[in-house]
Structure 1
Amino acid sequence: MKVIEHIDKATSPLFSFEIVPPPRGKNISAVTDIVKKLLPFNPSWVDVTAHSAGAYYNEKSDGSVERKIYKKRPGTVGICGVIQNRFKIDTVTHLLTQGFTKEETEDALIELNYLGIHNVLALRGDALNYNKKYDLSRKRNFYAKDLVEQISDVNKGVYLDDISNSFPLDFCVGVAGYPEKHFEAPNLATDIHYLKQKVDAGADYIVTQMFFDNSKYFEFVDKCREAGITVPIVPGIKVIKRMNQFSNVPRHFYVDFPDEFVAEAHENPDHIIEIGINWARKQTEELLNANVPSVHFYVMNDCDNVSKVLKGLY
């Protein structure tokens, strides 16, 4: 089932979760063990993140420097296939523009269709840490809007090249939204302008970056509606469990923490796990009372504290 169908047919609160592929060399059980812990909470869907290749430089014995390209966390498509077919939970595959050609994206969409996966999240992704050499005969998507347009094309049966006996595909497309604006945008109004372009290109729903002040989400939704964006906007929640996250999270995700949350944590640092769980639970309760489409938890690779948040709601 598509994400948008889950939302349209919902008669009770929906919860979705986002996990990351395990590092290279890890077994698939690193993922399936997390999913098993989430089963009691009836996941409507599970997102699996994607990562572009990176580069590292190795100095050889002769003094020369060798560049090696690696993928730290491979297997997004395969992991989605395992989760969906083993646990019968719909999955959302993250697709990136950075580091991938249009041809590679089209191949991924065809493979996802074979696996029965019909939900994708279209993202630009983080900038590469090296200059990838592209075959000039290959095409590229530069922005998430371009990626949404390509997915919308294959949904109409329009492929990059003529393919005999080809058929339209059927993907539900999500995109990212930023209640505190994307760090590259000069202001929130400009960011919402570009978000509307992604929706107009064919996006079916929006999932937000993590936030810790619900008022930021509600204001963001109001501004999106004023701009003519009508698709569901799913709030994203992250559970804080370490004191250093109060400095790391703003640095990496460009979000603010409410003064009350920070003060409570600094007054009782030994109880940060409990404080983080309680804060996320209060956020979730308020969001559910406001009838949000779903609550999306950024689990990544640790679901224990998310489980404690949800157990307090059941």
Structure 2
Amino acid sequence: MKVTEHIKNANGKTLFSFEILPPLKGQNIQSIFDGIDPLMEFNPPFIDVTYHREEYEYKELPNGLLQKKIVKKRPGTVGICAAIQNKYQVDAIPHILCGGFTKEDTENFLIDLDFLGIDNVVALRGDAVKSEIYFKPEKEGHRYASELVEQIANLNKSVYLDEDLKNTTATDFCIGVAGYPEKHMEAPSMDSDIHFLKQKIKNGADYIITQMFFDNQKFFDFVSKCRAEGITVPIIPGLKPIATKKQLNLIPHRFKVDLPDCLIMEVVKAKDDEGVKQIGIEWSIEQSKQLIAAGTPVLHYYSMGKAENIKRIASAVF
């Protein structure tokens, strides 16, 4: 079932969903199930599965030259989605990236998903690989998420890359895209960021999931700006509880997300990471309650495969 249909069928009730990481290469899928099982009591209608593009590593050869090697550290997104739908009978939503894919790769990926009965995808540009400062698209790939959305929407209209194909079948994907309540780190302004988000909706996106935030007012302001620009699709907030002191520096640096001063000081005063974890849970509970009271359609938690914190939050609000 499509995400938009889940929201419509909920009749105003706020739904619970979460996002997981594929396991590291060499690990089995049981680690995924261990992170999902404790959260199934909250009846998630869908579970997101991230996709991690290849990374580059360099090996020095005997002649002194460097050999570039492509390494995929977290493979298995498609297989995990199929396993989740088979085991739990809930919709699994794979992320699709511009980075690391040609247009033909993307089309073949979407065909496989369609064959598996997967109804939803999240279209993302993706980040630059660690060895590069700025994002670089594949030679025959997409530079922007809006272009990726357009390709998926075209496939929904039975428009394939090969124009000579006959009797083609249309797919029927519900397309999610990312939104940034504090703007994307590369966007020069919030207005420009909303402009490009609007382009993704125009190209065929059906709903928005936001990056994490810790100040609900920033989310409410973001929603208001989207609505003022004519964006009417559902906007789903993404939430992540702080769990370690290290994240006070990591989150603002990596995601360009601000942390409220009062949250920072609470974490700074905590004796250990167990105390930080409790602070993060309590903060996220209050965020969640306020978002539910505001009529938010879904609360989407970035669990990253660790269920304990999310279960404690969900137990308090759902």
TM bracket, shorter-chain basis? over 0.9
Instruction: Provide the C-alpha distance between the structure 2 equivalents of 1:42 and 1:17, rounded to a whole number of angstroms.
Output: 11
Return the match for 1:310 from 307, 314, 318: 314
Q: Kindly indicate whether the alpha-carbon contact (under 8 Å) linking 2:98 and 2:137 is maintained by their aligned counterparts in 1.
A: no
Does residue 150 (structure 1) correspond to residue 151 (structure 2)? The answer is yes
After TM superposition, the structure 1 = structure 2 runs for residues 21-40 of structure 1, keeping only pairs within 5 Å, are: 21-40=22-41
Opposite residue 276 of structure 2, the aligned amino acid is I
Gaps of 5+ in 2: none
Q: How many angstroms does 1:128 deviate by?
A: 3.1
Q: Deviations for 1:270-308, whole angstroms, at most 9, x for unmatched residues?
A: 311110100000000000010101000001121110111
Which piece of structure 1 moves more, 4-13 or 44-53?
4-13
Q: Which residue of structure 1 aligns with residue 289 of structure 2?
A: 285
Q: Which of residues 222, 225, 228 in structure 2 aligns to 1:226?
A: 228
Partner Cα distance (1:224, 1:241) in 2: 31
Q: Matched residue of 1:265: which SS? A: helix
2:217 paired with 1:211? no
TM-score computed with the length of structure 1 as normaliser: 0.96
CA contact (8 A) 1:243 1:269 kept: no
**Separation of aligned partners in 1, 2:24 and 2:181:** 30
Structure 1 gap ranges (5+): none
- Displacement of 1:61 in angstroms is 4.2
What is the percent sequence identity of the aligned residues? 50
148-157 or 262-271, larger mean C-alpha shift = 262-271
Letter in 1 for 2:10: A
Superposition pairs of residues 20-59 of structure 1, within 5 angstroms: 20-59=21-60
Question: Aligned partners of 2:160 and 2:65: how far apart in 1?
Answer: 44
Q: Which amino acid aligns with 1:113?
A: D
TM-score between the two structures when normalised by the length of structure 2: 0.94
State the Cα RMSD in Å.
1.5
Output the amino acid matched with 1:181: K
Q: Which amino acid aligns with 2:313?
A: V
| Matching of residues 74-153 of structure 1 within 5 Å | 74-129=75-130, 139-153=140-154
- State the partner residue of 1:258: 260
Alpha-carbon distance in structure 2 between the residues aligned to 1:269 and 1:287: 30
Aligned residues: 311
Alignment partners' CA distance in 2, 1:175 and 1:269 = 39
The whole-number CA distance in structure 2 between the counterparts of 1:240 and 1:82 is 29
Alignment check: 8 A CA contact 1:236 1:296 kept = yes
Q: How far does residue 62 in structure 1 lie from its aligned partner after superposition? A: 4.5
1:164 deviation in Å?
3.1
Contact 1:99 1:128 in 2 (8 A): no
**Secondary structure in structure 1 of the residue aligned to 2:175:** strand
> Partner amino acid for 2:79?
G
